[in-house]
Homo-oligomer: A and B are copies of this chain.
């Protein structure tokens, strides 16, 4: 399998860097092909701005989505973006590895999503019947994506009634709004708790747990999100009444017991 490992941590001597090294080594030992995007090492540009569209007339008002799509189709996106799109297109599995800052990815990784997953490449495509391909379908359909992240908090605080919010729902903007939206099935996240207090021994344990997880990449069941193409939503994009009847909130978008692959 082809794995793209996208890493967003500023310190090469961190617990996360060691975790990444262990994970990539384990994947290669199993015969997988691995490419890396070490965003800090690449000095990745985080911010969408005029420089993303080298040929564009700057006197024209910038409509970001349109400018991205137009530049994509004319081959005029900046070179760093095109390189990441090539890697994403190559991969079967994308691993997004980052410390959880303010309950989301660090800015440098948020900027990867903002700049790489442009309209016409990752979303905004239509099927033969003219329907928008989205939520279970899209430019990255057939791929899988997995979050590897570290938090300072203990696991209980991220549980179903934990004060920080249930981790599966806190990551909804990534899992559902980014991965699933573009057609990628979201694998269950790998979360390291108490990361800022981890001893050497605990760090080793985390590495072993991650490697064990990566042994089973092929058979891991993705999060069971519902499908737009499958007709789970009505024309107003509201979940049909007979699904999770009477309930509201992010949980209704999962179908427990059902496994779907993007």
Residue positions of A touching B, CB distance < 8 A? 10-11, 13-14, 40, 46-50, 61-65, 99, 101-108, 110-111, 113-114, 117, 135, 152-154, 156-157, 159-166, 169-170, 172-173, 176-178, 196, 228, 233, 236-239, 244, 247-253
Contact = CB atoms under 8 A, between A and B. Distances in A.
Contacts of A102: 110, 113-114, 117, 173, 177-178
A14 B114 contact: no
Contact of A108 (B47, B159, B196, B238): B47
For the complex formed by this chain, how many copies does it contain in all?
Answer: 2
Contacts of A244: 161
Contacts of A10: 48-50, 62, 64
A43 to B, nearest CB: 9
Given A101-B114, A249-B251, A106 B236 contact: no
A255 to B, nearest CB: 14
6 contacts: A10-B48, A11-B64, A48-B107, A153-B237, A162-B237, A249-B250
Given A14-B61, A40-B49, A196-B65, A239 B163 contact: yes
Given A161-B244, A161-B247, 19 more contacts: A10-B64, A11-B63, A14-B63, A46-B46, A46-B107, A47-B106, A48-B101, A63-B196, A64-B99, A102-B117, A103-B178, A106-B110, A135-B163, A153-B237, A160-B248, A160-B249, A161-B239, A164-B177, A166-B248
A181 to B, nearest CB: 8
A165 to B, nearest CB: 5
A172 to B, nearest CB: 6
Contacts of A196: 63, 65
A236 B156 contact: yes
Nearest to A178: B102
B101 A106 contact: no
Contact of A169 (B63, B111, B250): B250
B250 A165 contact: yes
A11 B61 CA distance: 7
A153 to B, nearest CB: 7
Q: Which 3 A-B pairs have the closest CB atoms?
A: A107-B111, A103-B173, A103-B177
